[in-house]
Copies of this chain bind each other. A is one copy, B any other.
Amino acid sequence: MSSFKGSYAYSVDNKGRINIPARLRKYVSTEANDTFVITRGYEQCLFVYPLDEWNKLEESIRHLSPTNSRHRFFMRALLERATESQLDGQFRISIPKELLQFAHIENEVLIIGVLEHIEIWNPGIYEQYLKTQSESYETVAQTVLQK
Which A residues are closer than 8 A to B by beta carbons? Answer: 3-7, 23, 37, 40, 42-43, 58, 60-62, 64, 69-84, 98, 112-115, 119, 130, 133, 135, 137-138, 140-141, 143-145
Contact = CB atoms under 8 A, between A and B. Distances in A.
A61 B73 CA distance: 24
A113 to B, nearest CB: 6
Contacts of A140: 70, 73-74, 77
B138 A42 contact: yes
A19 B7 CA distance: 23
B5 A79 contact: yes
A115 B71 contact: no
A112 B144 contact: no
Nearest to A137: B77
A83 B74 CA distance: 28
Given A40-B137, A115-B58, A115-B79, A84 B144 contact: no
A115 B71 CA distance: 13
A79 B6 contact: yes
Nearest to A141: B74
Contacts of A73: 133, 135, 140
Contact of A83 (B6, B80, B145): B6
A97 B119 CA distance: 21
A143 B71 CA distance: 10
